[in-house]
Amino acid sequence: MIKKRLTASRGFTLIELIIAMAITLIVVLAIGMALVDGQRGWSTQYNRIYSDVVTDGYVARRKFDAVMRKASREKFEIDPAGSWVEVYYYADDTSTVVDRYARFSTANGNLNVEYGQLVPTKVTLTTETVCGNVSGCTFEQLGRSIQMILKLDNGPHTNTIISYAVANN
C-alpha cells in the first residue's frame, strides 16, 4: 500500500507576495496623492484668506465705520475727485461745538487717517496708517452716507472693499 502524504501549504508563494505588495503600493500611493493634494488646496485657501489684502481690507472697513459712526451729520467734505474725505466730530460728550476732524486719504500705497482739532484753528494732532497695499481709493457721497471704494493689491492677491457709512451724531 502506498501512502500519500498530504502536505499543507504553509506561507505564501512568491507570486502572491508580489501581487499583495503591488496592491498595497497602489493603495498607499493613492492615499498619499490625496493627502498631498488636500494639503496643497488647504495652503492655497489659507494664503487667500489670511493674505495681506484681506486683513488690510478688514482693518480699513472697521476703521472707516468707527470714524464715521462718531462723525457729525452737520458737515463733511469730499474732494471733487473723490481722493479724500474729511468728517467732523465732537471731541467728547461735553463738547457743544464740532471741534475735531478726521481725514481719510491715500499716500504711498497706504490708507491714512489724519486726526486734528478745529478750534481755535485747524491743527493736525496725529496721522495713523490704517492699511497698506492700496492701489486705489475713492470716496463718494450717496444720499446721507459716504461710500469708500478701496482697492488693495499685493501682487498675487487683489481685494476690493466697498463700505458705506452714515454719520450718526
pTM comes to: 0.69
Residue 138 predicted with pLDDT over 70:
yes
pLDDT tens string 139-152: 998 888 899 999 99
Beta pairing partners, 106: 111
How many residues can be counted in the chain?
169
pLDDT at 159 > cutoff 80:
yes
What is the per-residue pLDDT across 80-136, written as a single tens digit (0 to 9) for each?
A: 999 999 999 888 878 788 889 999 999 999 999 999 998 888 888 999 999 988 999
User: Sheet holding 84-89: strands in order across?
Assistant: 71-78, 84-89, 100-107, 110-117, 123-131
Q: What is the pLDDT of residue 99?
A: 86
Q: Minimal CA–CA distance to 148: which of 158, 133, 163, 168?
A: 163
Residue type, 108: N
Q: How far apart are CA 65 and CA 99, in angstroms?
A: 20
Mean pLDDT of all residues in 154-167: 86
User: Half-sphere exposure (CA, 13 Å, Cβ side) for 18?
Assistant: 3
Helices and strands: H and E segment counts in the chain: 2, 8
pLDDT attached to residue 108: 92
Residue 58 above 70 pLDDT?
yes
How is residue 98 annotated by DSSP?
A: -
Who wins on pLDDT, 69 or 7?
A: 69
Q: Quick one: pLDDT at residue 11?
A: 77
Helix or strand run (H / E) with residue 143:
none
